Amino acid sequence: MGLFNRLFGETTDKTPEAPETEEKATEKTYEETLSKTSQSFGERMNSFLANFRSVDEEFFESLEETLITSDVGVALASEITEDLRQEARLSNAKTPEALRSLIVEKLVDRFGDETLDTTLSDVTPLTVILFIGVNGVGKTTTIGKLAHRYQKAGKKVLLAAADTFRAGAISQLQEWGKRSNVPVVAGPEGSDPASVAYDAIKRAQDEGVDVLLVDTAGRLQNKDNLMKELEKISRILSRECPEAPHEVLLALDATTGQNAVQQAKEFSAVTPITGVILTKLDGSARGGIILQIIQNLKIPVKLVGTGEKIEDLADFDSEAFIKGLVKDLL
């Protein structure tokens, strides 16, 4: 009950003219970003609760099904449902409404049990971050946003266009480089991606760059080639800079729901992943997919896309996320 009480057990009285704290600003961002997800989740659960007058086995079976269809995932839905069975017996709960806050409590506290590190690596003199993900998920856009963030923080940033096969990938990254005032290392279309990575890390070291962001191809349909390509890029990076890449971030599109989980599983089989970036969260009603990624795959979500502007990239905040997710249920 720790996280649930911390998030929802406090008094709602507020000083009218109290300045907005950073914590409150983060909560507001997540509340706005998760509005579609929260509404969808709340409508499903509220509709489910309204359809039952008593707490029986049919209630629990339908609860599990509702949680699964809300992108919570089979394993977590089963665990929460079994916990509620036990709680309902202990508390002698007779009505679905009596279990409403308990459902949220179990969901929140199970999520709060995770201790995955959601912070991005910050290594001196040079942090190298490798980005992976299929075409169309917003990977290159996220690189541009992160470059902008680092640049605003006073970091010297360099981008590497190692996705040399997708038509337009290089020019797209170069355009983001212009927008964020960050240089881009690129080669001809179709050139060896590892060669681009080599040129980029040598330039980063020669010019005293703080952060190198490396874009890669997303050809998951050809796993063997992709694995060899990523291994070669990683090998060259680590040869020139010990322990690089310091992060391997997988970009996933929040609007794709279960398909995002499948992509995470498939990429995990290709290369070790240190974190997930969930893009397009503001346009999705399926943000609950974060719960599955964290609970089932044990991969931390590190960044979330909160809009289309260059500033719309947020560090993942688990408490703000879960509070935003369930706000329409309480």
Counting the structural domains of the chain, the total is 2
Please check whether residues 97 and 136 belong to one and the same domain: no
Please check whether residues 83 and 189 belong to one and the same domain: no
pLDDT of res. 185: 98
Sign of CA pseudo-dihedral 55, 58, 61, 64: negative
Please check whether residues 284 and 157 belong to one and the same domain: yes
Kindly state whether residue 120 falls inside one of the protein's structural domains. Answer: no
pLDDT of res. 9: 66
* Contact (CB, 8 A) for 196 and 162: yes
Please check whether residues 108 and 131 belong to one and the same domain: no
Look up residue 234 and give its two tokens. Answer: 């990683």
b/e 106-144 (16+ beta carbons within 10 angstroms → b): bbbbbbbeeeeebebbeeeebbbbbbbbbeebbbbbbbb
* Contact (CB, 8 A) for 164 and 281: no
> For residue 78, how many other CB atoms are within 10 A of its CB?
14
Please check whether residues 81 and 139 belong to one and the same domain: no
CATH classification of the domain holding 52:
1.20.120.140
Residue 252, beta-bridge partner list: 278
* Contact (CB, 8 A) for 304 and 118: no
Last residue in a domain, options 56, 79, 112: 112
pLDDT of res. 116: 86
Look up residue 29 and give its two tokens. Answer: 């961002």
Please check whether residues 101 and 158 belong to one and the same domain: no
Please check whether residues 75 and 140 belong to one and the same domain: no
Question: What is the extent of the structural domain holding 284?
Answer: 127-317
pLDDT tens for 167-183 read 899 999 999 999 999 99
pLDDT of res. 239: 96
> For residue 16, how many other CB atoms are within 10 A of its CB?
4
How far apart CA 61 and CA 215 sit, in angstroms, is 44
Sign of CA pseudo-dihedral 59, 61, 65, 70: positive
State the 10-residue block means of pLDDT for the chain, 330 residues long. 67 50 86 90 89 89 91 86 88 82 81 79 97 93 97 97 92 95 95 97 98 92 86 96 96 90 89 94 86 85 93 91 82
pLDDT of res. 19: 58
CATH classification of the domain holding 232:
3.40.50.300
Please check whether residues 158 and 82 belong to one and the same domain: no
Kindly state whether residue 175 falls inside one of the protein's structural domains. Answer: yes
Q: Output phi, psi for 52, to 5 deg.
A: -125, 140
